[in-house]
A and B are shown apart, each in its own frame.
Chain A
């Protein structure tokens, strides 16, 4: 605002009037455009239609699924029945999968975030030999296909006796190169080096400085990394697919796929309504997390934009 004022005032005969019109639709507050809104709404509809489809179809009985129009409700409204059936089918195996998923997310994503914070902080704020090397190796590792790692990791873990246990899913989840990169750039921006020096001069140890000074400053970055590692672990499919044989340790993603595949096997009971309702229940926590934490990760974004 102030720049607009100083820029326009000298050049115009009636500064007050002029600045008012400029400010009304200035660079910061341009005129709203219905056309652009409609065009973007096309993408919006594309993004939301499948979710609406999922919501609508989770209210249908299996019979209605086949007989009624996909984007509107059927004759029945069986959402509650479906939820109950999903939770109790096969002795409540869905609940067990949910518990497994939560376990993997808490330990995997929590651990990954913690390691990424430590590593990113160190890369941003300390000089040590091999720093460039660490970065090159970590970024290079992102390019390695999952399967290139998965097969040997599986063989290694099976020799260590870790396959078919939760550890086989949790340990590889602990590394998030993307999280490390994010924390590094964030820590470089958010923590003034002078502040660390001041803390050191005051006689605070490195760990004390880290926990008392740096950690609070990193909060928005931490929420962001935590959110993304949570999504990665919650949605993980490939890793548990190869590591777990015993369906008791399945996360939700594998369980849903098993339910879906059940219809294709000979003599298997088709339970599409449970697959659909189960899918809905699977995505709800993440959707909720993103909506509830919106302010935090958006303030993380906003913090970057204040830079001007």
Chain B
């Protein structure tokens, strides 16, 4: 009765499209001959598609480097704020969280301008110091630059998740630890981190999903760095270009399904591992 409306809309915007894209992925539409059933041909094609693999390798690299950095910073800040040892902690909390309220479009444009060698900060620094910093929007560095944007956007958000989890740790545990003469680091390692394991797992899973779905930032930076970001820069961008510039809906749906499967498998493994340690 209460769940009904949610499930109804959910079925319309989640389940129906998934079924539809499974359906699309086993057909092929050609100029001549119309739509034919091709079985798993589209999947075979994706397996041999270097553009798809390059994109996947890129987001995997992004995942392995960016996610630990971002979550690490978020955890350290959350612990610092929770420790109660900061001056003006609510100011810290709200300010570091603020970038989350900034749309990805604005964040990307803003950082994109700042990266720019023309009127960006990088250009300013070059002029002021008489050095020539590497161009953050060059093909070699643009992935790191995107990583920086994403880190900036989500550090505060993850910090807040960790902080909220830390707040519900029973204070009697800290008091007991203090009576036992535990140091701050021991408290952090033995009480705080284990207590928020659930939040850590959730944040990790959301970050993995976010990395694999990387789209907004590269898509927006494209107009500022057209040479560095190709139309198949990430698998998501590739799927988008395939269907909206290439009209290859069937193959695009296939790429998207493969990415969905990979994401779900990895998220599931992380969840299993995270939960097992807890037990």
Contacts and interface: CB of A to CB of B under 8 A. Distances in A.
10 contacts: A33-B86, A123-B3, A147-B252, A150-B256, A155-B24, A156-B17, A275-B109, A276-B113, A279-B109, A305-B167
Contacts of A305: 167-168
Contacts of A237: 103-105, 216, 220
B177 to A, nearest CB: 8
Closest 3 CB pairs of A and B: A122-B2, A148-B256, A235-B103
B188 interface: no
B273 interface: no
Contacts of B60: none
A87 interface: no
Contact of A143 (B20, B174, B264): B264
Interface stretch (A78-86, A88-96, A191-199, A256-264): A256-264
Given A119-B2, A146-B213, A7 B179 contact: yes
A126 B98 CA distance: 37
Interface residues of B, number: 98
Nearest to A300: B164
A43 B96 contact: yes
Contact of A146 (B2, B98, B236): B236
Contacts of A146: 213, 215, 236
A10 B170 CA distance: 23
Q: Which size class do A's interface residues fall under?
A: 35 or more
Interface of A: 3-4, 7, 27-34, 36-37, 39-41, 43-44, 46-48, 50-51, 53-54, 57, 65-66, 69-71, 115-116, 118-119, 121-123, 126, 128, 134, 137-138, 140-156, 171-172, 174-175, 180, 206, 210, 231, 234-235, 237-238, 241-242, 252-254, 256-257, 260-261, 264, 272, 275-276, 279, 282-283, 286-287, 289-291, 294, 298, 301-302, 304-305, 307-308
A145 B213 contact: yes
Contact of A140 (B107, B156, B171, B264): B264
Given A36-B83, A119-B2, A238 B216 contact: yes
B77 A43 contact: yes
B243 interface: yes
B1 A122 contact: yes
A142 B209 contact: yes
Contacts of A137: 15
Interface stretch (B38-46, B116-124, B134-142): B116-124
B62 interface: no
A152 B96 contact: no
B190 interface: no
A134 B257 CA distance: 21
Contacts of B252: 147, 151
Given A146-B213, A147-B240, A279 B13 contact: no
A192 B158 CA distance: 29
A32 B87 contact: yes
A51 B153 CA distance: 12
Given A3-B172, A174-B9, A290-B98, A47 B152 contact: yes
Main secondary structure of the interface of B (DSSP, over half): helix
Contacts of A36: 80, 83, 85-86
B39 to A, nearest CB: 19
Contacts of B175: 3-4, 7, 27
Contacts, number: 276
Given A145-B263, A171-B12, A261 B95 contact: no
B16 A156 contact: yes
A53 to B, nearest CB: 6
B105 A30 contact: no
A156 B17 CA distance: 8
B220 A257 contact: yes
Residue of B92, B109, B215 ringed by the most chain A CB atoms within 10 A: B109
B78 to A, nearest CB: 10
Given A40-B92, A149-B17, A152-B20, A28 B84 contact: yes
Given A118-B6, A148-B21, 5 more contacts: A30-B83, A36-B80, A37-B85, A53-B121, A257-B223
B6 A180 contact: yes
Contact of A235 (B84, B105, B110): B105
A66 B120 CA distance: 8
Contacts of B15: 137
Contact of A148 (B170, B179, B253): B253
